[in-house]
Amino acid sequence: MEQNRVSMCCSVIVLISLVRVAEGRAFFVFGDSLVDNGNNNFLATTARADSYPYGIDFPSHRPTGRFSNGLNIPDLISEKLGSEPTLPYLSPALDGERLLVGANFASAGIGILNDTGIQFINIIRIYRQLQYFEQYQQRVSALIGEEAAVRLVNEALVLITLGGNDFVNNYFLIPFSARSRQFALPDYVVYLISEYRKILLRLYELGARRIMVTGTGPLGCVPAELAQHSRNGECYPALQQAADLFNPQLVQLLTQLNAQLGSDVYISANAFAMNMDFIGNPQQFGFITSKVACCGQGPYNGIGLCTPASNLCPNRDLYAFWDPFHPSERANRIIVDRFMIGDSKYMHPMNLSTIMLLDSSTT
């Protein structure tokens, strides 16, 4: 009897301590390689960042599956929240108390559409990411009880980054791609937005109440596109036009959804403007170039992948781009600063500092 009482008492203490951990704000991440913290390392896919020199500036100086020389955007947002970085959902280390910090469901190569990134074969498409989010909630309910789990998800911060691959790794992937034969570009964008709407509403149905949604960056300005399409370093107009069409319609969608729900659930993050600041004027931000990738080969170091055989710059902080597609850690820090304190040009209807202030006063 005494033994039962002791074990019951211990169980209550453990449960109370777990609920206390859950009181720190959880963070959930969905999307593509800009925000993948290593899920693809657990999959049989070519879309992986699991070899040197990826992770060269990470605290461990080892590749982690992040498409970065160091920390990526979710890591830096976690830093601002005062939390440890979210673990990839597929990581065996994501268990017990670690679940209460949140989880990263992102997978390099995916898009809004299921046929985006098919060349990468085994990646976690967005609806599968949402299924994992449901599974996550069941696991947390078993840990802290259903009521506390619902509260944890409702009060969490969510980041979703989708859209770029639907152009780069679908519509514009090859001349006369299936989607480009099916749709003129403006019609394709309308279709993408209508599909994205379903994804965003599903996130709401699953309990998310504060969702930061990034538009696409300046897709035509990344070193990979310059290498293929640019003679004098000018951005590739077709992809810039795609971003110019997509981003305003995404903002419009988020505004409509917020009006429909009667609450500022969806926060628009203008990734295009955030990136164009340092792409348009790299020297002002302490970069020597925003055209040449630190790691790569060929023109602008933009051909192929970043591998142990690639050219590698000695100082990553001087390069806006780490590899042919992804910003360096230092560029990511500039982007996340805009998330935190950017005005309405960057964050609408409010920035992350305002969200944190508002939400801390209502919880």
**Active-site amino acid positions:** 33, 323, 326
CA distance 215 to 244: 10
Nearest CA-CA partner of 188 in 227, 148, 237, 245: 245
- Parallel, antiparallel, or unpaired: how do β-strands 295-296 and 311-312 relate? antiparallel
Q: Tokens representing 232? A: 């004098």
What's at 158, amino acid-wise? V
- DSSP, res 327: B
Q: Which residues pair with 103 in a beta bridge?
A: 28
Residues with Cβ within 8 Å of 362's Cβ and at least 6 positions away in sequence, in order, are: none
What tokens appear for 268 in the block? 């628009």
CB 269 within 8 A of CB 339: yes
Q: What angle do CA 307, 311, 316 make, to 5 degrees?
A: 95
34 Cβ contact partners less than 8 Å away, ≥ 6 residues apart: 67, 72, 73, 161, 164, 214, 326
In this structure, the dihedral spanned by the alpha carbons of residues 180, 327, 103 and 55, taken in order and rounded to 10 degrees, is 120
Q: Are 169 and 117 in contact (CB under 8 A)?
A: yes
Residue 295 φ/ψ region, left for φ over 0, alpha for ψ in the -120 to 50 degree band, beta for the rest: beta
CA distance 304 to 296: 7
